[in-house]
Amino acid sequence: MGAKFQRSIRAPIGGREMSRTNRGLTLIEIMVIVAIIGLLVAIAVPSMGHARQQSRALQCMTNLHTLGQGWRMYSDENGDVVVPARMPFFQSGGFSNTANQYSTSTGLKYRPRWPALLQKQVGVPAFIKPRTDRDRQNYDSPVYVCPSASEWTDERNASYGYNYQFLGSQRKEKGQDGSRKMTMLSKIKKSAGTLVIADSMGSAAAFPTRERLPYENATRDEHRRGNYGWLIDPPKLEAKSSRAGGPRSKRSAADARHHDKVNAVFVDGHAQAYSLRDLGYDVQSDGHIPDTGRNATNKMFSGSGEDERPP
């Protein structure tokens, strides 16, 4: 037989014959396929979630690097003085007194905080239309907001906090009423080891993890994540130390929101991830961070590389 042919196995169905290769799938085979698809989805979904988290952490690092560059440029353009945490309240009259309004790159703003003061150097406005009739407003640019806390847009309850005690202090000095204690960039000894801006948890850090509440824009509840997040208190505080929310408020702290790591930018401009303990915080077993502790140290906040007292 010269012609080629393919051998097929046939079976009678309804009086006709059909190739076994053309028969439909059995119930068992369908169940196996469904199980395989389910397994692949179960493997893929966590991987996709991890990839998204990694992407957000990377974008956060990019944001902090940008803010860190702006922070250094501010000092270069202002006689070596680093940006204050907030412009001081010199005059009575509150919002109605123009003496409490300060110039930013996009207009006058009532007592601007550090992001508004840096927006010229950052190159992206934190506020397109700064307000003089309110104490706070929401950021207009995502550069000032951590992607993993994207709803934290209130400039007071922010996702990024400033090392204000050692770098941006505004305390009055004896005999110089109304003056600010200014930090000079050139006086910072450990530029690679001094934190400038980082992921912030706000006052919720002072409470056990189970007692922390979700973020709410414009809240003043100390239990809520992000409350007073625009400032970060150093790991070790004293009884008379200032706190982000004032002398009687709860402490603030950094937030390990990226796979238990805190993203931070340092004086020399590099951005890096650290655990809370690596930054010097004495984290307790229930998750809360006390004002002081056996293992607390301010080495990565002080500017000198030493465990100094808060100013």
Using CA atoms in the order 63, 67, 69, 74, what is the torsion angle rounded to 10 degrees?
A: 160
Long-range contact set of residues 216-221: C-beta below 8 Å, sequence gap at least 24: 216/157, 217/138, 217/151, 217/152, 217/153, 217/154, 217/157, 218/136, 218/154, 218/156, 218/157, 219/157
What is the total count of domains within the chain? 1
- State the Cα–Cα distance between residues 120 and 232, nearest whole angstrom: 23
Flag whether 227 is in a domain: yes
Flag whether 156 is in a domain: yes
- Count, residues in the chain: 311
Per-residue pLDDT, 5: 42
CB-based contacts of 107, cutoff 8 Å, min separation 6: 129, 130
Flag whether 63 is in a domain: yes
Per-residue pLDDT, 24: 67
Per-residue pLDDT, 247: 84
- State the Cα–Cα distance between residues 138 and 21, nearest whole angstrom: 65
Among the residue ranges 28-32, 73-77, 195-199, 241-245, the one predicted with the least confidence is 28-32
Domain range enclosing 197: 55-274
Flag whether 221 is in a domain: yes
Residue 172 has pLDDT above 80, yes or no: no
Mean pLDDT throughout 98-113?
95
Flag whether 299 is in a domain: no
Mean pLDDT throughout 245-267?
95
Q: What percent of the chain has pLDDT over 70?
A: 86
Per-residue pLDDT, 92: 78
Q: Report CA 240 to chain centroid distance, whole Å.
A: 27
| Residue found under tokens 């000198």 | 304
pLDDT-derived band at 8, boundaries 50, 70, 90: very low
Residue 14 has pLDDT above 70, yes or no: no
Per-residue pLDDT, 22: 55
- pTM recorded for the entire structure: 0.82
Per-residue pLDDT, 57: 96
Crossing angle of helices 27-77/114-122, nearest 10°? 90
